[in-house]
């Protein structure tokens, strides 16, 4: 069987960030509640001239070259921050990146899980058409509202992945287990720009589904925890992954427990600096692990737990390829995060209120970012450059 997986991976988040210690003080909370209890240090602030299209295109721009443009004939965007009820955001991204018109362009939705489904569809397509490549983008803006319980778990950005045969970074294994159940732990009605969440229920369902799928994974694939070098998790906040992993950690040897916990911390580092990416969160965790864990080796298997409220989850593994570390854009990503401008709470609140919604027309954005921008809305049409 053809080996298929992630050949290139990129990440983008806007150039503004909020210090959560400052937010805690403004909200009358103890900073430790945010930085230790929830496990977040900073939160991406999304200006009105950026959305899932600009962020997704900016993430993909980092990794696409002319050879990719010749071979990509499918663009999949996973998001729960859609900009149109009919037109796919992938259409705009296809044009901005100069990709061929002879392509499929589609948008997928199932809360934070959809990026994984898109990745699996891409893997299966390339397995049948190994000469082709697929661009998968997971882009989102997590919004819960100002001074709400979920405010500290906001964020935004995009992860872009090129799926190809004989990948340079990792292969996606055919060992998935998955499940879905109708649960009202998180939802966002069509007339709302902020999500509604039952945090306690969502945490319980997340942990339960992980445990159920882990037991099924072990049974179906005849693997033990000691055969996995790391676990990466969907992280609406960084403590969530730890809660899940601790359920099965006693199954590992003492040495393996230490290794898995160290790798978990490495996988959390980018999320601590950015916040929640919804569909992109688990792949930001994967990218963080690849950037920070210096002891990973080719041939290592990494477990990936993807969860989307509502609720759907999948557990599978990936295998690192030879010289994978040469193709992980460590310097680029560290520079992206380091160069962001820290804004005051007042500025963050002002920017939060400016985000363009579907009901606004004939609006022009004043702010501009490096890369692609949303210029405004005219006659209900979003204008990008």
Q: How many CB atoms lie within 10 A of CB 61?
A: 17
> Per-residue pLDDT for 358 more than 70?
no
**What integer pLDDT is reported at residue 364 of this predicted model?**
78
Q: Pick the catalytic residue: 107, 112, 266, 314? A: 112
Q: Are 272 and 238 in contact (CB under 8 A)?
A: yes
| Each residue's pLDDT tens digit, 79-137 | 999 999 999 999 999 999 999 999 999 999 999 999 999 999 999 999 999 999 999 99
| Each residue's pLDDT tens digit, 166-192 | 999 999 999 999 999 999 999 999 888
**What integer pLDDT is reported at residue 7 of this predicted model?**
99
- Nearest-5° Cα angle at 166, 4 to 135: 60
Active site residue 112: yes
Per-residue burial over 325-335, b if 16 or more Cβ lie within 10 Å, else e, is bebbbeeebee
| Each residue's pLDDT tens digit, 46-89 | 999 999 999 999 999 999 999 999 999 999 999 999 999 999 99
Question: Residues 6 or more apart from 227 whose CB is under 8 A from it?
Answer: 301
pLDDT class of 367 with cuts at 50, 70, 90: confident
**Which residue ranges make up the annotated binding site?**
144, 243, 276
**What integer pLDDT is reported at residue 359 of this predicted model?**
58
| Each residue's pLDDT tens digit, 190-222 | 888 888 889 899 999 999 999 999 999 999 999
Instruction: Report d(CA 379, CA 385) in Å as an integer.
Output: 17
Determine if the pTM surpasses 0.95. Answer: yes
Domains and CATH numbers, the chain: 4-169+329-384 (3.40.47.10), 171-324 (3.40.47.10)
> Per-residue pLDDT for 360 more than 80?
no
Instruction: Report d(CA 371, CA 89) in Å as an integer.
Output: 17
Q: Pick the catalytic residue: 80, 266, 312, 314? A: 80
Q: Are 155 and 44 in contact (CB under 8 A)?
A: yes
Q: State yes or no: cis peptide before 211, omega within 30 of 0.
A: no
Active site residue 80: yes
Instruction: Report d(CA 137, CA 62) in Å as an integer.
Output: 12
What mean pLDDT do residues 335-341 have? 96
> Per-residue pLDDT for 160 more than 80?
yes
**Which residue ranges make up the annotated binding site for (3S)-3-hydroxy-3-methylglutaryl-CoA?**
144, 243, 276
What mean pLDDT do residues 289-309 have? 98
What mean pLDDT do residues 348-365 have? 80
Q: Pick the catalytic residue: 107, 151, 234, 314? A: 234
Question: Residues 6 or more apart from 330 whose CB is under 8 A from it?
Answer: 291
**What integer pLDDT is reported at residue 375 of this predicted model?**
93
Q: How many CA atoms lie within 13 A of 62 on its CB side?
A: 25
| Each residue's pLDDT tens digit, 3-43 | 999 999 999 999 999 999 999 999 999 999 999 999 999 99
**What integer pLDDT is reported at residue 380 of this predicted model?**
87
Is the Cα torsion angle 290, 293, 298, 300 positive or negative in sign? negative
DSSP symbols for 80-121: SS-S-SSS-HHHHHHHHTT--SSSEEEEE-BTBTHHHHHHHH
């Amino acid at each position: 069987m053809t080996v298929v997986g992630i050949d290139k991976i990129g990440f983008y988040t806007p150039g503004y960030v909020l210090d959560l210690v400052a937010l805690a003080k403004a909200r009358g909370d103890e900073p430790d509640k945010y930085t230790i209890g929830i496990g977040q240090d900073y939160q991406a602030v999304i200006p009105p001239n950026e959305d899932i299209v600009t962020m997704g295109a900016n993430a993909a721009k980092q990794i696409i070259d002319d050879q990719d443009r010749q071979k990509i004939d499918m663009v999949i965007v996973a998001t729960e921050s859609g900009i149109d009820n009919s037109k796919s955001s992938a259409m705009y991204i296809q044009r901005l990146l100069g990709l061929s018109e002879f392509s499929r362009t589609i948008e997928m939705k199932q809360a934070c899980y959809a990026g994984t489904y898109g990745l699996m569809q891409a893997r299966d397509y390339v397995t049948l058409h190994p000469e082709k490549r697929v661009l998968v983008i997971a882009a989102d803006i997590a919004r819960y509202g100002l001074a709400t319980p979920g405010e500290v778990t906001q964020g935004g950005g995009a992860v872009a992945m090129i799926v190809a045969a004989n990948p340079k970074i990792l292969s996606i294994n055919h060992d998935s287990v998955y499940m879905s159940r109708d649960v009202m732990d998180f939802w966002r009605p069509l007339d709302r720009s902020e999500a509604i969440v039952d945090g306690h229920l969502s945490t319980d369902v997340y942990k339960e589904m992980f445990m159920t799928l882990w037991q099924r994974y072990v049974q179906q694939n005849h693997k033990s925890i000691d055969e996995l070098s790391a676990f990466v998790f969907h992280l609406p906040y960084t403590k969530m992954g730890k809660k899940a992993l601790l359920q099965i950690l006693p199954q590992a040897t003492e040495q393996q427990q230490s290794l898995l916990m160290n790798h978990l911390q490495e996988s959390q580092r980018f999320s601590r600096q950015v916040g929640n990416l919804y569909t992109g969160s688990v792949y930001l965790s994967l990218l963080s692990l690849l950037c920070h864990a210096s002891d990973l080796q080719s041939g290592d298997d990494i477990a990936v737990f993807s969860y989307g409220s509502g609720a759907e989850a999948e557990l599978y593994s990936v295998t690192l390829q030879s010289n994978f570390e040469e193709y992980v854009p460590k310097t680029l990503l560290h520079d992206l995060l380091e160069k962001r401008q820290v804004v005051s709470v007042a500025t963050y609140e002002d920017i939060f209120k400016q985000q363009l919604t579907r009901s606004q027309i004939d609006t022009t954005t004043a702010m501009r970012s490096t890369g692609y921008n949303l210029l405004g809305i005219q006659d209900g049409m979003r204008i990008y450059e």
